[in-house]
Every structure is written in C-alpha cells, then in structure tokens.
Amino acid sequence: MSNETITILLSVIAVGIALVSLFRTRKFNTIQLELQKIQADLAEKLIEQLIEDEIRSGQPIFAIRKLICRGLGDQDSLNYTVKVEISVDNTGEEYLEGQSLIIGTWHGGRFLGSPGVSTEHRDLRDHDPILGKHIIILKPDSKLESCKVLISYTDNKGSKRIQEFSIFPEGPDGCLPSEVHFELKKTLKIVPNTLWAI
C-alpha cells in the first residue's frame, strides 16, 4: 500500500470519527435544550404554586360541589328550568365576614349577570351568605360554561377578597347537564383606588 493510499484512508477515518463526534454532540445538545426547557417549565409552575400558596395562606379555601340537577317543566317550552343544587364548604381558615356568592360573566372588565343563569334567593337571616346549599337556576338560553362563581368575603386581617371559580358542565347537548364541576381560578384582593379625605 502506498503512502498516498494510507494518507487518504487515515483522512477518511478521521472525517468519519469527526462526523460521529459531531452527530453525538448535536444529539447531546438537543437533549440538553429539551431538559432546560422542561426545567424552565417546572420552575415557572413552582413559582406559580408558591405565589398561589402565599395568596391562599391564612385564607378560607372554598369547595363547591354539585348535589342535584333536576329539570322542571316541558323541555320544549321556553319556561323549562333546570335547578342545580350546590353545596359550598370551607376547608381552610375561618373568615371574618361572608358577603355574597354570585354567578355571572365578565363583560368589558365588569362582572354582570348572565342571561338565563341566576341563583335562587336565600334569606340571609337564616343562612350564611356563602356556606351551605345554593340553587343555580338555568333557563334554555343559559350559557353556564361562560359563567363564573364569585365568592366575596372579608378575611381575618380585614381585607376584602374574592375567590373566582370556573364552571364546567358535562353531558349531551340540552338544558340538563349530567355533571357540573367547579374549579378555583384565582383569589383577588380588593384594593380601594381612592382615599376619602375631609
């Protein structure tokens, strides 16, 4: 074998080794980038959880669950009504004053009643304004999934707070959901925007 052939053969082997090394380095870098992205996502979720834990620290933790769904009247009539009975419990800290539980939708930054969705009146002399059973009334034109449940209260530090819950109805098309789920989305602190002065 001549020197030229040996040189060419060694050059080809060196190029092959370099390509394998380059391929492995590129694959390793890709894996590293994926791991960094996963770590960044985990860190972001951890920060969100820490912020949420701090917000909820010392606060009531309201839990809403559906008890009964029942339809009243003729389903083909405009007067058909569905009553969803829910129960609200507090699994966290006590609060100073319960103020209200309302249901509606956000329109242009304002919380308004939603057509076809309301809550049945409760005599607050006999009931806590938040805890216990509530009845949500649905009419045929209701859009329950676009509504929010807002629970307002004053915490033990005297701050006014609102807990916002999303509503997830399940079941076939029609007025009567087979299941309704509620999920806490956020806790808001009401901060006055102006101070009154004499």
Query: pLDDT digit string (tens) for 56-98?
Result: 778 899 999 998 888 888 877 778 888 889 999 999 899 989 9
User: Quick one: 185 and 148 in the same domain?
Assistant: yes
Percent of the chain with pLDDT over 90: 26
Per the domain annotation, does 24 fall within a domain? yes
Of 10, 34, 57, which residue is a domain's last? 57
Predicted confidence band of residue 9 (pLDDT cuts 50, 70, 90): confident
User: Quick one: 144 and 179 in the same domain?
Assistant: yes
Residue 164 CA to residue 135 CA, distance in Å, equals 18
Predicted confidence band of residue 12 (pLDDT cuts 50, 70, 90): confident
Report the pLDDT averaged over residues 113-132. 85
Q: Which residues are CB-contacts of 5 (< 8 A; sequence separation ≥ 6)?
A: none
User: Quick one: 18 and 68 in the same domain?
Assistant: no
Amino acid occupying residue 51: I
User: Quick one: 160 and 67 in the same domain?
Assistant: yes
> Residue 134: which of 160, 179, 100, 183 has the closest Cα?
100
Residue 15 has pLDDT above 90, yes or no: no
Residue 195 has pLDDT above 80, yes or no: no
Q: Residue 49: which domain range?
A: 1-57
User: Residues 165, 149: contact at Cβ < 8 Å?
Assistant: yes
Structure tokens at 175: 């007025």
Residue 104 CA to residue 117 CA, distance in Å, equals 7
User: Quick one: 103 and 136 in the same domain?
Assistant: yes
Residue 74 CA to residue 87 CA, distance in Å, equals 27
The helix, strand and coil proportions of the chain, stated in percent and rounded to the nearest 5, come to: 30, 40, 35
User: Quick one: 171 and 83 in the same domain?
Assistant: yes
User: Quick one: 27 and 3 in the same domain?
Assistant: yes
Q: In 10 A of CB 36, how many CB atoms?
A: 10
Residue 51 has pLDDT above 90, yes or no: no
Of 37, 57, 77, which residue is a domain's last? 57
Which tens digits make up the pLDDT trace of 144-183?
Answer: 888 899 999 999 888 899 999 998 888 777 667 778 889 9
